[in-house]
Amino acid sequence: MSNGGLLQKAIEQQSYDEGDAVIVADVAEPRGAGMMSGSMKQGMGLGVVALLLSWVVSSPGIQSDYAFAGAIPIVLFAGSFYLVWNAIGRKQTAVIAVVYILLAASPYAAMSLSSGEITITESELSDDATQITLTIRESGALFGSSIDSADVSITYDGDNVYDSTVPFSIDREDGFGEYGEIILTVAEWYQGNAADDALYIVTVNFDSSSDSMGLQSNHLQRTIDDVKSDTAGAMGAGGDCDSSKDSCVVGVALKSWSGLDAMGDNPPGGLPHADYTVQGTLFYGSTVAIGYPTVTVVNGIAEWDSNNGEYGGGSVFVGDEGSELPMPGSVDSFELNTKYIPIEDWAVSDYGCYHFTVEVTQESPWYGGSTLSYTSYYEYTEEGDSGTGENPGDPTDEAWTSVTSCDD
């Protein structure tokens, strides 16, 4: 064989070897890059977030308060599955799906197999506002507990106000799982109005597990600590008036407020679940001009004897949208937006100073220790004249005016 032939073979052999090396490099590089591609990292990261979130939302308290929270990790798991599945070339679908199902279910499985833990998930006020029902859910305790009672304690502003052992068991079930209920009678432990700095905290101990919860403050504001009163004169004209006056007082509308103390001259805040009685009286000096029937307010419903319509309809709702309690009469007034008590129904209707006193009382355990009262003052006067110069005529008008006192 000539030198030229040998050289040609060597060149061909070298080309063949280099080709093999190139082929091996081309195959190996994509495989190494694909296993930790950006899509794979994103999918794994999203899966970790979904798993952590699943542990959070598997808590009975979260499931009860946020029913649809469990859908969030499911969506995240689905996104993670797609990214990982796509990163490995959409292969081994069944294996990956099983792994993701196990990951998603693991927090809930752990909750059902772990030791039992109770969570107070809800407090609900009864329709008559006399009782509060606690909803208590249990995680774990796969076979349930044989204990049929729980220890309940309540603190108010840091002081213990209630301790009792009550019948209790996890004996109910709904879409969120098994639960039990404890009913608390408010009058047995109420001590005063709940506030941001004076909370009612209930603690339940059951089968070596315990949980505490702050009761809703608006359910436990029952004590009246501020009262106000007001009247408005109902004005007539022309034929409505005696002695041919141009305008005159034909009656008076009464109202009061009872509730939480407000700043300045603002009316008291509403207490929709308070029980109390209101006595309103319009005086002329020491003489009763109008003695309004006693108003009894129970859980936002005010009732009184209307005397066949002489004093309005005999009932009204109060507290939900404020503390104002209208005390209507028998005659409608478009201007006053209420019914007024006509002047012919007053025991006294002379000109002069009147005062309207409202007294509010409560029974134990709601009362603050004394009767609350408030008095507002008014001048009933004649005004104007029809004459001129030194010969004034008769007054032409009447007025009902708020004043600071009757001593002026």
Q: Kindly state whether residues 99 and 124 are assigned to the same domain.
A: no
Q: Kindly state whether residues 155 and 105 are assigned to the same domain.
A: no
CA-based nearest residue to 274, from 196, 365, 373, 185: 365
> Residue 356: beta bridge partners?
282, 376
Of the residues 93, 113, 133, the one at which a domain ends: 113
Of the residues 96, 113, 130, the one at which a domain ends: 113
pLDDT score of 144: 55
Tell me the average pLDDT of the chain.
85
pTM to 2 decimal places: 0.70
> Does residue 297 sit within a domain?
yes
Q: Residue 2 phi/psi, 5° resolution?
A: -75, 165
* Structural domain range at position 216: 117-220
Q: Kindly state whether residues 98 and 144 are assigned to the same domain.
A: no
> Does residue 342 sit within a domain?
yes
Q: Kindly state whether residues 165 and 246 are assigned to the same domain.
A: no
Strand, coil or helix: 361: strand
> Does residue 316 sit within a domain?
yes
Q: Kindly state whether residues 162 and 268 are assigned to the same domain.
A: no
> Does residue 89 sit within a domain?
yes
pLDDT of 97 higher than 70: yes
Could you please report the per-residue DSSP string of 73-120?
Answer: HHHHHHHHHHHHHHHTTS--HHHHHHHHHHHHHHHHHHHHHS--EEEE
CA-based nearest residue to 102, from 153, 154, 50: 50
CATH code for the domain in which residue 215 is found: 2.60.40.10
Rounded mean pLDDT, 336-344: 96
pLDDT of 306 higher than 70: yes
Q: Kindly state whether residues 52 and 180 are assigned to the same domain.
A: no
> Does residue 1 sit within a domain?
no
pLDDT score of 195: 94
> Does residue 14 sit within a domain?
no
pLDDT score of 72: 83
Q: 229 is written with which tokens?
A: 């009163």
> Does residue 320 sit within a domain?
yes
Q: 324 is written with which tokens?
A: 């104002």
- The answer to whether the beta carbons of residues 376 and 230 sit under 8 Å apart is yes
pLDDT in tens, 225-256: 999 999 999 999 988 887 778 899 999 999 99
pLDDT score of 24: 46
User: In total, how many domains does the chain have?
Assistant: 3
Q: Kindly state whether residues 331 and 365 are assigned to the same domain.
A: yes
Burial of 155 (0-12, 13-18, 19+ CB in 10 A): middle
pLDDT of 66 higher than 80: no
pLDDT score of 262: 86
pLDDT of 122 higher than 80: yes
Of the residues 186, 220, 254, the one at which a domain ends: 220
In angstroms, how far is CA 292 from the centroid of its own chain? Answer: 34
Q: Kindly state whether residues 157 and 172 are assigned to the same domain.
A: yes
pLDDT of 177 higher than 50: yes
pLDDT score of 213: 96
Q: 290 is written with which tokens?
A: 């109008």
Buried b (16+ CB within 10 A) or exposed e, 217-236: eebbbbbbbbbbbbbbbbbb
> Does residue 5 sit within a domain?
no
- The answer to whether the beta carbons of residues 358 and 377 sit under 8 Å apart is no
